[in-house]
């Protein structure tokens, strides 16, 4: 099967860095998810919120993989699925993706579509796509047969449509692909 997945928030645990960077830059202790709704106006100005996110991606902070992501990605490769990363990262932000995969012995194609650019073209022909951003999944309904929303505190409050399945972990991802398709 052709399986595509997002990088930040699905394979790489970038979200965990956001409150840490906000604390470092602006001295705030954020309680709850680092979502615009929770953060802007309460802890940070919109400008500070954007600056925090910018620093997370461009600031060379060490990024760890999401729990079990390397293990289950390796298993999926061994099961002979075709894996591809489709990320909003592009240009100088892409090498981090390749470096993290290489560190875990993985050689996975990464397509960088660019910030705030639709993933529709890049996802054409996939059987499965996994993202933590519901806005990226909804336009793929009817095009990619299996759409998985990777749970993060930032998307917990969102109600996914019936065509989208919420998964809480890479274990769930693997179980779904192995037994439910
Ligand atoms: Mg993401």
* Predicted TM-score (pTM) of this structure: 0.94
Q: What is the pLDDT of residue 116?
A: 87
Q: State the distance from the centre of ligand 1 to the C-alpha of 155, rounded, in angstroms.
A: 10
Name residues of the chain where pLDDT drops below 50: none
What domains can you pick out in the chain, each with its CATH number?
2-13+64-179 (3.40.50.1000), 17-58 (no CATH)
C-alpha 156 – ligand 1 centre gap (Å): 14
- Identify whether the C-beta of residue 150 lies closer than 8 Å to the C-beta of residue 167: yes
Given this model, what pLDDT does residue 1 score? 97
Cα 169 to averaged position of ligand 1 atoms, centre (Å): 14
Ligand 1 center–CA 9 separation, angstroms:
4
Q: How far is the CA of 57 from the centre of ligand 1 (A)?
A: 12
Q: How far is CA 72 from CA 4, 25, 30, 124, in A?
A: 14, 35, 31, 23
∠78-84-88 over CA atoms, to 5°? 150
Looking up tokens 């409050």, which residue turns up? Answer: 157
């Amino acid at each position: 099967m052709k399986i595509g997945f997002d990088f930040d928030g699905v394979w790489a645990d970038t979200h965990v860095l956001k409150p840490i960077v906000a604390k470092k830059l602006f001295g705030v202790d954020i309680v709850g998810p680092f979502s615009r709704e929770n953060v802007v106006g309460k802890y940070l100005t919109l400008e500070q919120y954007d600056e925090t996110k910018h620093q997370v991606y461009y600031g060379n902070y060490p990024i760890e993989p999401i729990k079990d992501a390397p293990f289950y990605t390796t298993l999926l490769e061994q099961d002979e699925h075709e894996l591809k990363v489709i990320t909003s990262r592009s240009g100088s932000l892409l090498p981090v993706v390749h470096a993290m995969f290489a560190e875990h012995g993985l050689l996975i194609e990464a397509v960088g579509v660019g910030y705030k650019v639709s993933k529709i073209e890049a996802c054409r022909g996939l059987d499965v796509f996994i993202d933590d951003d519901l806005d990226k999944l909804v336009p793929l309904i009817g095009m990619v047969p299996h759409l998985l929303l990777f749970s993060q505190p930032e998307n917990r409050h969102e109600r996914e449509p019936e065509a989208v399945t919420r998964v809480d972990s890479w274990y769930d991802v693997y179980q779904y692909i192995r037994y439910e398709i």
